[in-house]
Amino acid sequence: MIYTNGEFKEDDRDELERALEENVISISQYQLANTAAFEMIKWVVTDFNGFITFCFDRLREMVD
């Protein structure tokens, strides 16, 4: 999910809901995705520098 200007991008939410309706994902996976998106947004808003540092470190691990 992408969070822009204080709101989820509707296309992403629609895609997630469609996957749930078509039984591509379970209700628990849907709930987990919503929770993960919310927690990531909260992290970015409260500690942007920490978030960027974490992402950079993970990318470096993948490249090494």
pLDDT higher than 60, residue 4: no
Q: What domain count does the chain have?
A: 1
Q: Quote the domain boundaries for residue 14.
A: 3-63
* Contacting residues for 22 by C-beta, under 8 A, at least 6 apart: none
Q: What is the pLDDT of residue 14?
A: 80
pLDDT of residue 2: 46
- For residue range 6-43, list pLDDT tens digits in order: 555 566 778 888 889 999 989 999 999 888 888 888 99
Instruction: Report the distance separating Cα 48 and Cα 52, nearest Å.
Output: 6
**Confidence at residue 1, expressed as pLDDT on a 0 to 100 scale:** 45
Sign (positive or negative) of CA dihedral 11, 13, 14, 15: positive
Q: Is the pLDDT of residue 58 over 50?
A: yes
- pTM to 2 decimal places: 0.59
Rounded to 5°, angle at Cα 28 from 24 and 31: 100
